[in-house]
Every structure is written in structure tokens, then in C-alpha cells.
Structure 1
Amino acid sequence: MDEKPDANDTGRPRRRRRSRQETEADLLNAARRLLQRDGVLAGVNLREIATEAGVNHGQIYQYFGSRQALLRASVADLVDRQAADKEPQFWDLPFAERRAAMFRHRLAEPEVVRLEALLALDGDEGVNALPRFARTRRSLERDQREGALPPDADAVAAHVMAASALVGYVIFREAYARDTGIPLDELDERAEHAYARMIAGLTGGTPTGAPDDE
């Protein structure tokens, strides 16, 4: 009689052995779920992540080496997936339109912003706050050549300040809504118009996406 390789000595079916790639993906997904549930500043318990992913606690160190490395991998995974889905269309837009598109993109995908903030607050020197900056720099140089930014503008500083204003809003938007008493959807809309005015101040142009009566 043939042996049944999918059964153990107790007669119960053996659990299929996961590949390293599958285990890493399970750990990344578990980390993101717990961060969404508990908040990025609640701390990350590696044993809880392992339990959530259904893996041995030691495999986190085996595959990632540290808590920071696991979180950094989560950020990199999210950024890569977002870039594949959405970001490429941003690069060819003029500065103001690019920032408006990034505002909507970051608002729709706040998880990456929160993970990046967690890593930065935890002192992780490997955190990459400006991913693909070489490509961004080329876009900024084009902006100045084509007049989307003034020729005498500090394009890099403009990008950094625009990015930091957006990141700050995404992180604190729910607290801002509570403190101001403004419904979150309404605050998001008003913040987007205010952000467009800020960007217009950097470019010397008309706010992108401003209401008709402005």
C-alpha cells in the first residue's frame, strides 16, 4: 500500500510546508495587520506577529534579523507595489500637478506614511523618506527647464517641504479632525485645496484643483 505523505503519525493531514518567500510574505502581512489594528506607535511585538502569521518566532530573526528590518521590509514592499500600480504616471507631470496627485495618492494609502514615521521615530537610519530621489531630481530639473518651477527656485527644498507638509497631514489628519470638529472627509477636501495654494506659492502659478470661485 502506498504511503500518504500528507499525513503524520496521528493520522492528521500534514500542514504543507511553506516556502521562504511565502513565510516572509505572511510575516509582512501580519505586521501590517497588527500595525493597522493597534497603531504604529503602540509598539510591535515580534511574538504576536509570529503568532498572527502562523510561524515560529525564531523565523523572524532568521529571515529579517530584527524588528526594524521587518518593518523596513514592510515599507519597501508597500512602496514597490504602489509604484508598480500608480506612481509611474506621476513622474512626467509638472510640479504642481505631481504634488496634487501625490496628495491624493498618499491620502488613499496612509499605511506607508505611518510605517515610515514609525521607523524614523525608532531611530532607524535605513529609513528612506525620499524613495527614488534620483528620478525625482530629474523631474525637478525638467520642472525648472520648462517653467513649472521658477528658474531661481531651490527645487530640492521645495520638494522636501511639500513632501513634509503632506506627510504631517496624513499622519495627524484624524487627530486634526477630532480637534477641529470638522468631519474627516470635509477636512481632507479643504486640506487638499489649502495644499494646492501652498504649492502655487512655490511655483508662482494658479492652485491646481482650486474651487471655481477662487
Structure 2
Amino acid sequence: MRAALELLAREGVLAGLNLKDVADEAGVNRGLIHHYFGSRKTLLRNALDKEMRTLADRVGMETYLNPARRGARSFRAQANEMQLARVVMLLALDGDEEFAPIPFYESSLELLKDEQGRGVWDEDLDLRALLALWYAFLSGYLVLRPALARQLGLAVKTLDARVMSTIGRMWGPLWHEDGTAEH
């Protein structure tokens, strides 16, 4: 899995990824990769899942954090792991029907429902749509980020800060720092 991610990082997603190259990179027999994964898509899904779990364990997403802090922590963590966003987009573009783009979907939805029950989110806020928008934004932004920074004439870190500030302003009407929904 690590070899597949390293190849994608080095060669780029448009160069494609074949299992022979992955086997050569990993120093293993191609049949071994086929035995454990069966296909390039399965290999990439497993690599993505493993890396997202490692990232989540390393960063920690404490449920007591308010939504803005949790979102900022998620943003910063994934911004430092650009390859993950590329793999997400590659699997999506590849039409992988088994690919689930929202990591930890069930637990994330349960957390949002709990917060909604405590008044952090408005009662009528569509939590599934909120998750979809967040992960679509995060993956898309991270993939486009270097090109966006170049086009706008900004350093990536400057663009990140401005984007996070804007996201915070957009979320402002939806939640309160003290954990109560704004009405």
C-alpha cells in the first residue's frame, strides 16, 4: 500500500498506476498483490483507509472540540497529507462504485446528531449534506490548492489561512462557540 502511494506521489495520478510497478516498488511478486488486493482500486481503497486511520489516530478528533476547531484540525491534518486527497479524487474519477469518500461516515454522523441534539446545530440542518459538502470541499480544495495559489499569486499557507477564515465565517451562522444553536 505504501509503495502504491509513493508511486502516485512521485509519478502523479495521470501517469496511472499498475500493479507491476507497485510490485517492483514494494519488492514483492505481482501475484502477491493480486492475491491480497485483486485490483488497483481495492489496493488504493485499502491504502486510503489505512492512511486515514493513521492520520485520525495521530491527530485525534476529540468530540468535545467545537465544530470550527474540529474542522480546522481536520483541514490542517489533511493539508499536510496531500497524497490522500489525490487518492480520493483518483478513486472518484475512476468510477469506483465501492469507494466511500467520507472517512468515518457513521461515527461522524453520530457526532453531528449528538451535537444537534444538544443545540450545537440547528434542528433543521441536513447533517448528511453538511458532511458531503465538507469532504467535497476538503478533497477538491486540497487537490487544486497549489494551482489556486499560483493563479491567485499567493503563498499556499496564506491561501490556506484565508480559506479557513472564510469557512469559519460561513459556519458562523450555523453554530455557536458555547455549543448552542443560533436562531
Aligned partner of 1:108 in structure 2 is: 80
Distance between the aligned counterparts of 2:12 and 2:53, measured in 1?
22
Does residue 31 in structure 1 map to residue 4 in structure 2? yes
Q: 1:82 aligns with which of 55, 59, 76?
A: 55
Q: 1:52 aligns with which of 25, 37, 48?
A: 25
Does residue 180 in structure 1 map to residue 152 in structure 2? yes
Does residue 67 in structure 1 map to residue 40 in structure 2? yes
Q: 1:41 to 1:196 in 2, by over 3 A?
A: farther
Name stretches of at least 5 consecutive residues in structure 2 with no aligned partner: 178-183
Quote the sequence identity (%). 37
Larger Rg: 1
Q: How does 1:1-214 map to 2 (within 5 A)?
A: 28-89=1-62, 91-201=63-173, 203-205=174-176
With CA pairs under 8 Å and 6+ residues apart, which has the higher RCO, 1 or 2?
2
Residue 31 of structure 1: SS of its match in structure 2? helix
Question: What amino acid is aligned across from residue 141 of structure 2 in structure 1?
Answer: Y
Distance between the aligned counterparts of 1:184 and 1:165, measured in 2?
16
Contact 2:37–2:43 (CA under 8 A) maintained in structure 1:
yes
Question: What amino acid is aligned across from residue 161 of structure 2 in structure 1?
Answer: E
- How far has the Cα of 1:119 moved from its partner? 0.9
Q: 1:180 to 1:112 in 2, by over 3 A?
A: same
Question: What amino acid is aligned across from residue 36 of structure 1 in structure 2?
Answer: A
Name stretches of at least 5 consecutive residues in structure 1 with no aligned partner: 1-27, 207-214
Distance between the aligned counterparts of 1:71 and 1:144, measured in 2?
34
- How far has the Cα of 1:205 moved from its partner? 4.4
Question: What amino acid is aligned across from residue 12 of structure 2 in structure 1?
Answer: G
Residue 14 of structure 2: SS of its match in structure 1? coil
Contact 2:101–2:135 (CA under 8 A) maintained in structure 1:
no
- How far has the Cα of 1:204 moved from its partner? 4.9
* Alignment TM-score, normalising by the size of structure 2: 0.87
Aligned partner of 1:13 in structure 2 is: none
Distance between the aligned counterparts of 1:39 and 1:62, measured in 2?
25
Number of aligned positions between the proteins: 177
| Runs ≥4 residues deviating over 6 A | none
- How far has the Cα of 1:115 moved from its partner? 0.9
